[in-house]
Amino acid sequence: MEVIHAQGIWMAESLQQRTISQTDLWLLVTHLGDPKAAFLLLFPFTYFISRRAGVSVIWVAAITEWLNLVFKWMLFGERPFWWIGESGLYVNKPPQVQQFSSTCETGPGSPSGHAMVTAAVWWVVVSSLGSFLYSRTHSVVVSAVPYLLYVLMLVAVGLSRIFILAHFPHQVVAGSITGFILGIILGRRVPEGRPLLFFFSLSTGLLLCTVMLHAGLQHLGINLSWSIALAKKWCSHAKWIRLDTAPFSSLTRDCGALLGLGMAQYWRPGGFPLPWAPRALSLAVSSMGLYHVHRLPLPVQPQGLFYGLFFVKFVIVPQVVMVLVPGVVYLLTHRKKD
């Protein structure tokens, strides 16, 4: 692994030196590949185009990110920004690389969560779009365009993670392949029409299983906080260490989103029948609402309170997109027609 890691550092160094002028672009791409972007950006956009595709996105994103957390705990993957200092190979000649505000994630590095979730959720979108285009045009070339863009997106997200020293190349490849497989499998099992009890049981089960796994590994003498300590030690700026990148933050996000999805479908089975113009208005208002929900500052101490509020924040996300905003728009447009 030392040789693989060293080759990864060389690739990151070369990428930074050759494309340092495109830093803002790389940071934008890594932001769009962030798992939370699937919940806050892709989900509302997709939902108001196709309800089933939107439900698929949040479903696939939550399960994929949860599995990514479990894989990371099992594989103990290093991250480039701390491996450079810990390896001892660069004492005399450190690589000419720099960190960025998105670099200092605190979880283990393998497989890449950005690549894994991006590959999974965008497969749902791309496969639906490809099928739609083929049904309308019967052209293989036209229907293949979304799949080409899908590959380019995965490459861009992967390179952005290497550029900012968040991941090694093999971690990006592993995440992309795993996410692609999960996108195919989970996209065929969308929980539409499931009772609220299903989502409550799933959310609670994932939470309890993860806590039990964490406690069990700790009992065996495996310190699962090792990556947090290394991130704090080697991050260039302490303010770049954020609690919302910690493993339990992704867990509470996934469990909260799944429970919220079940609640939204319980409150309004089938959604609201909106024409294209009200749907566009709902998308715009929902996006603004989610932006402000995401921007709400949360107290980082005590951590239990932070995780609790983080859970509630993502329970709210499906309510805003699927019930609250389209419900208000439906009432206003319906009254106007009356």
C-alpha atoms less than 13 angstroms from C-alpha of 139 in its C-beta half-sphere: 8
Q: Does residue 111 contact residue 174 with C-beta atoms inside 8 Å?
A: yes
Catalytic residue among 5, 114, 170, 214: 114
Residues forming the annotated binding site?
A: 79, 161
- Is 167 in the active site? yes
Positions at the binding site for substrate: 79, 161
Alpha carbon separation from 231 to 26, 77, 213, 304 (Å, rounded): 21, 13, 22, 21
Place of tokens 């830093």: 23
Query: Exposed/middle/buried for 59, CB within 10 Å: 0-12, 13-18, 19+?
Result: buried
Residue in 5, 31, 138, 167 annotated catalytic: 167
Largest CA distance in the chain: 77
Using alpha carbons, select from 227, 213, 329 the residue that is nearest to residue 282. Answer: 329
- Per the structure block, which two tokens stand in for 324? 């609250």
**Contact assessment for residue 133 and residue 272, using Cβ atoms and an 8 Å cutoff:** no
Q: CA-CA distance, 233 to 243, in Å (whole number)?
A: 15
Residues with catalytic annotation? 114, 167
